[in-house]
């Protein structure tokens, strides 16, 4: 049997013996948790909310990971999005705080400036580039286990 596991854009193929099938949930859980841990190193950091927002919509053994903040998509794409009606992404209110415009936003063509060294857009892709061989070996090790 050949197992194909997909988490995000990571695909691991492992040849399995029948008794190894029971390890599939553990392998999925490992891969999901490791992807989150390794991706976090590349996620922009201001107050930590984006890094801490990772969720598993289909459970820890599922195929999906989401970073769930109102701005996660914009940060991942690395481009300032603006409200076309106002030609701006937001404004500073009377309270001195930044407020985003409500409504649909469109890409502005201007890159986001990241201030934490080593972080930026497309953090999953950067983590996969750095750690993919380790992820694949970790999945293979769990699948070969007799536990």
Q: What is the pLDDT of residue 64?
A: 85
Task: Enumerate residues 6+ apart whose C-beta is below 8 A from 44.
Answer: 50, 75, 114, 115, 116, 119, 120
Global pTM value: 0.79
76-98 tens-digit pLDDT? 999 998 888 888 888 888 888 87
For residue range 29-47, list pLDDT tens digits in order: 999 999 999 999 999 998 9
**Is 7 in contact with 30 (CB distance < 8 Å)?**
no
């Amino acid at each position: 049997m050949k197992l194909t596991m997909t988490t995000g854009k990571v695909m691991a193929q492992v040849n399995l013996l029948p008794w190894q099938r029971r390890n599939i949930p553990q392998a999925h859980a490992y891969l999901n948790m490791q992807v989150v841990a390794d991706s976090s190193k590349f996620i922009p950091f201001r107050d930590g909310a984006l890094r801490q927002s990772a969720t598993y919509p289909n459970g820890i053994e599922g195929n999906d990971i989401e970073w769930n903040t109102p701005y996660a998509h914009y940060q991942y794409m690395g481009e300032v999005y603006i409200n076309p009606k106002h030609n701006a992404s937001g404004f500073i209110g009377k309270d001195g705080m930044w407020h985003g415009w409500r409504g649909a936003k469109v890409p502005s063509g201007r890159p986001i400036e990241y201030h934490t060294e080593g972080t930026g857009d497309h953090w999953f892709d950067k983590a996969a580039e750095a750690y993919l061989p380790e992820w694949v070996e970790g999945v293979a090790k769990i699948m070969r286990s007799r536990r």
